[in-house]
Amino acid sequence: MGEDIRSAIDFYNRHPISAQIVLAKLRQSRGHLDGLQPEDLFAHDQDHYGGTGAIDALAHLGEIGAGTQVADFCAGLGGPARYLAHRYGAVVTGIELTPARVAGAADLTRIVGLEGKVRVIEGNVMQVPLADASIDVVISQEAFLHVPDVPRALGEAHRILKPGRRIAFTTWIVPRPLSDADKDLMWRGMAAVSLHSLEDYRRLLSEAGFAASSAEDLTAEWGQILRERLAMYRKLRGETEAAGTPAGHDAFYDSYVRFVELVSAGEMGGGRFAAMKK
């Protein structure tokens, strides 16, 4: 548990939020898993900041509704994908690099009967296995920080979107470069490899061919959210160890403490972005 991660896949293989722990917590609270509905998962499978309200914000920006074809970049366990399918009637394809999370997403999706509207496929957002102009909306949440080449990923989003359709995402931002020590800790603890400013993302979206972009600084809002998530992760560490599921590694908890400090000080933060394919 003391070894540092070597890749984003390594990080998510050890992450304390997994399909196994989601099901273990549901089994503990309900006594069984019979008759699970999509909404039963939402308190446990939303591994991003702000819960379902944050997905609603992206759905609004992306104009997601019944039948909308959505691609979720770095979809993880598929929590947002299932929410969009259940709440909005969207048809969602998630792109996820980590095989264990692809398998976990499939298990959770099947259990709640959403296989017809949600699929999470193994793939890299820098080389998306979807056809040109085949998607109505691309979303992503707190994921581009893990992507080595963000401009390439934004280019792929532009390629698969239909003309006039939109990308909407949240991710970490930094107003100025971190110290070498903090940059190293964010890599070793949370596989953060790409950290850009709010204005950097405006420029990167424009360079990828997008227009009518918007950028909202969420740093103040994230401060309280992240303090609550830190407390949740500390509690979850003991629960995952007791359940025999991945509990995270030491540097993850060290980096999360520092992350909360940096966000509280305004030296790191979050942004919500939206833009339209010309």
Whether the CA torsion 119, 120, 123, 124 is positive or negative: it is positive
The Cα–Cα gap between 36 and 213 comes to: 39
User: pLDDT tens across 84-136, in order?
Assistant: 999 999 999 999 999 999 999 999 999 999 999 999 999 999 999 999 999 99
Strand partners, 209: none
User: pLDDT tens across 259-278, in order?
Assistant: 999 999 999 999 999 999 98
CATH topology of domain 8-277: Rossmann fold (3.40.50)
pLDDT of residue 157 exceeding 60: yes
The Cα–Cα gap between 57 and 63 comes to: 10
The domain spans of the chain are 8-277
* Residues near 67 by beta carbon (within 8 Å), at least 6 away in sequence: 89, 90, 91
pLDDT band at 2 (very low <50, low <70, confident <90, very high): very low
Q: What is the model's pTM?
A: 0.94
